[in-house]
Amino acid sequence: MKTSDDHRHFIIYKPYGFLSQFRSQDSKQQSKKFLGALFDFPDGIMAIGRLDEKSEGLLLLTTDGKMSDFINSQKVEKEYYAQLDGDIFLEAIEQLKSGVKIGFDGKKYQTKPCKVFKLDAEPELPVRSKKIRDERHGPTSWISVTLKEGKFRQVRKMTSAVGFPTLRLVRVRVGDLHLNTMQVGDVMEVKTFF
């Protein structure tokens, strides 16, 4: 068994349009972009809590399965900035905070209470590679959502459930780790996450 000193850990800014995988044996996915294109990662590397293809931001990678399990175990907060279609109002924010019903594994799932607030201004984030529709198509607004759970496409499903579909989703924090000044595609190796 490896000791923790033998493990390697990375923090990356996952770009829009990349899968949270390193390569694929599936011929249908040959046109997809994988994290392995960003860096020569070691064997046994895994993403801790994936981001879907259309989501971007902070992603932790490790060769340590115990570390991955701990971070995914609902003990560690994950904060997202979501750009929404429409100008979200207080009642919808309160619904998100309390928990909403979303579809998960073919059933309805009630999300746990979480922290949600509207951002006063558009956050300073790198420009996304694929343009987002502009204001001519109606207003947009930004919210911060902080969760300890992470069901598949959860934030997107939550904002849709209250009538404000997500146009852009960026994970900005995992625990005490922040994107800070990282740019899209940046990879940093670290000794440990916490």
Residues involved in catalysis = 52
Question: Nearest-CA neighbor of 55 among 156, 142, 146?
Answer: 156
- Torsion angle defined by CA atoms of residues 84, 89, 90 and 91, in that order, rounded to the nearest 10 degrees: -100
Task: Give the position of tokens 């998960």.
Answer: 104
Q: Scanning the structure block, which residue is given the tokens 């619904």?
A: 95
Secondary structure (3-state) at 60? strand
The label of the residue with tokens 């899209």 reads 184
